[in-house]
Each structure stands twice: as C-alpha cells, then as structure tokens.
Amino acid sequence: MDQIAQQFFNLEIMKASFPMLMEGLKITALLVLAVVPLGLAGGLVAALASSARSRWVRWPAYAYVDFFRSVPPLVLLIAVYAGLPFAGIRLDPFTAVSLAFLLNNSAYYGEIYRAGIEAVSPGQTEAARSTGLSAPQTLTYVVLPQAVRNVLPDLVSNTVEVVKLTSLASVVSLSEMVYQADMARSVTYNASPIVLAAGVYLVLLWPVVRLISRHGRKIAS
C-alpha cells in the first residue's frame, strides 16, 4: 500500500513537477484553441459537401470523411510530422498537430453536423426560400441553428475527445502537459507527475462528462 502511494501519489514529486505541468497546460490550452475551431470549421465544410445535391461533390466528401475516420489520429500525426519532410514540407510540431487534427476532426465534426442537418425537415428550407431568403441565408439563419441544436450533445462530447486527443502531441515532442509530465516521470523514475496530469484532465473534463451523461439520460427517458 505504501509502495503504491510512493509510486503513484508521491506528494513531494507532484509538488516539484507542478510548475512544469502548468507550463505544459498553457500549450495544451493553445492547442485546444487552435484545433477545436479548425475542426468545427472544417467539419462544417465536410458536412455541407456531403449533403450537397451533386454526387460529384457528395461522393468525394464521403470518401474524405470515411478515410479519415479509418486512420488512427496518431498515425495521421506521424505521417504529417515525419512523412511530409520527405516531400520537402517541414512543419514545426504545433503546425503538424494542428494540420493532422484538422484532417481528423473535420471528419468527425462533419458527420455530426450532417446528422443535424438531415434532421431538419425539408419544409423548413422550402418555407424559408419562399419568403425570399437566398440559399446561403436559409442555411445560415434557418437550417444551421436548428441543426446545431439537434446535435449539441454530440458536438460537446466530440470536443471532449478532441481535448483528450491533444495529449498525442507529446509524441512529436510538443511540450504540452503530458510531454512535461512524462519528462518529469523520466527524471524522477516515478509515475506521480503523470497521475497529477491525469488529475488536471479530470478537474477540467469531469464536469463536462457528467453533463453529457445527464443529458443523454434526459433524451432516453
């Protein structure tokens, strides 16, 4: 029991590594601020393309979404970070992570938006157009607000996944929180810094996870 406390919950080590982790948390926050809006915007483009009327737009959009849902995010990240230099494109870790996650997340967000858009009845569009709104206006003011409200829980839940995913950036040595915690771990030969990082994630994400569960039950009942 004492051994477990020493190895996983060593307060001395946690205290010593806390400033490093907070430095990392700043990078994690910056990553989230870059990656979530990019994914939401990319997802919107993917969703509009995959609900387009022309099959020449729709099919490539489906292929894009399904391809990037089949490739693990870490594989994509390493392909971008370690593969692209062979084509003469050398990206710094932050840009590489942003690009890889843009590709991955826009596929996931895109599927969610598409489900939301499909759930808005065609009568809404017809009514809006007949009042004289243009197609882009109809989309912006009538269809999208309802679509987003339809799938809000899924959007939030996917955003939690995106925040968790930023931890992969440590693999390409971007000094976000998990990278810092792992550095501290390798210096101290003790897992407590990573447990502390887990604690930070819990504090940040647990309330959201709880909210998602409560909301899910409300729909079910």
Partner 1 sequence: MDFSDAFLNATVLSKYAPSILSGVWVTLYLSVIIVIAGTALGLVLACIRAAGLRLVNFTIIVYADIMRALPPLVLILIAYFGLPGVGVLWSSNLVLFIVLTLILAAFAEEIFWAGITSVGKGQWEAARSTGLGFAQTLVWVVLPQGVRLGLPPLTNRAIAVTKMTALGSVIGVPDILNQATTAQSFSGNASPLTLAALAYVALFLPFVLLARWLETRFAWRRT
Is residue 205 within 8 A of residue 158, CB to CB? The reply is no
Report residue 93 as tokens.
Answer: 């870790």
Contact status: 66 vs partner 1 (CB under 8 A): yes
Only one residue has tokens 């009538």, namely: 142
User: Residue count at the site for partner 1 (CB under 8 A)?
Assistant: 55
Stretch in the footprint of partner 1 (CB under 8 A) among 31-39, 53-61, 138-146, 159-167: 159-167
Identify the DSSP state of 121: -
The residue (of 44 and 197) whose beta carbon lies closer to partner 1 is 197
Tell me which of 168, 172, 183, 184 binds partner 1, using CB under 8 A.
Answer: 168
* One-letter amino acid of 101: F
Distance CA 139, CA 42 (A): 16
Among 70, 122, 130, 132, binds partner 1 (CB under 8 A): 70
What's the rounded Cα separation, in Å, for the pair 73 and 162? 10
**Stretch binding partner 1 (CB under 8 A), from 3-11, 12-20, 121-129, 141-149:** 3-11
By CB under 8 A, name the one of 19, 37, 60, 83 that touches partner 1: 83
> What is the rounded distance in angstroms from the CA atom of residue 30 to the CA atom of residue 201?
15
Helix, strand or coil for residue 73?
A: helix
Q: Which region among 11-19, 42-50, 144-152, 196-204 touches partner 1 (by CB under 8 A)?
A: 196-204
In the list 40, 165, 172, 174, the residue contacting partner 1 (rule: CB under 8 A) is 165
Residue 190 interacting with partner 1 (CB under 8 A) = yes
Residue whose CB is less far from partner 1, 138 or 192: 192
SS3 146: helix
- Candidates 16-24, 39-47, 122-130, 190-198 — which segment interacts with partner 1 by CB under 8 A? 190-198
Cβ-Cβ contacts under 8 Å for 8 (sequence gap 6 or more): 191, 192, 195
Which residues 113-152 are close enough to bind partner 1 by CB under 8 A? 115
Question: For 127-156, b where at least 16 C-beta lie within 10 A, e where not — what string?
Answer: ebeeeebeeeebbeebbbeebbebbebbbe
**Residues lying near partner 1 in the complex (CB under 8 A):** 3-4, 6-8, 66-67, 69-76, 78-79, 82-83, 86-88, 115, 160-161, 164-168, 170-171, 178, 181-182, 185, 189-191, 194-195, 197-198, 201-202, 205-206, 208-210, 213, 216-217, 220-221
